Amino acid sequence: MVRVKNGLQRQRRHKKLRVLATGFRLGRKNVHKQVRLALIKQGQHAFQNRKEKKRDFRKLWIERLSAVIREMWSKYSTFVNKMTQKNVILDRKVLSNIAVAFPQVFEKMYKEIMK
């Protein structure tokens, strides 16, 4: 029987992972076992950071709205409460964009909601 060492296929398989690990430091970029572990950890961080990104943007939108509403001598919480009472279905992202890009339009919306 001929001994099969699977050399070329293994090299190609390992190379695919090494390409994904470019930019890593020390053995994490070229030692196969460390590359595998580093890529797994990278995926975990990517998953977590996608969740954190959503949180951070929501905080930003709320801060922007709160700042604009404070200029009108009111509070963010009372504004949101009035919106829910009047069944205004606009999310914080849209409201924040309107408040920043079109302040006059937001002011009219604010007066209409706070009646």
- For residue 87, the domain's CATH number is 1.10.1900.20
Domain count, the chain: 1
Half-sphere exposure of 55 (CA within 13 A, CB side): 5
The number of residues making up the chain comes to 115
Give, for all 115 residues of the chain, the pLDDT tens digit: 788 888 899 999 999 999 999 999 999 999 999 999 999 999 999 999 999 999 999 999 999 999 999 999 999 999 999 999 999 999 999 999 999 999 999 999 999 999 8
* Domain housing 23: 8-114
pTM for this predicted structure: 0.76
d(CA 75, CA 36): 51
Do the domain assignments include residue 2? Answer: no
Do the domain assignments include residue 1? Answer: no
Task: Decide if 105 contacts 64 (C-beta within 8 A).
Answer: no
Task: Decide if 32 contacts 14 (C-beta within 8 A).
Answer: yes
Do the domain assignments include residue 3? Answer: no
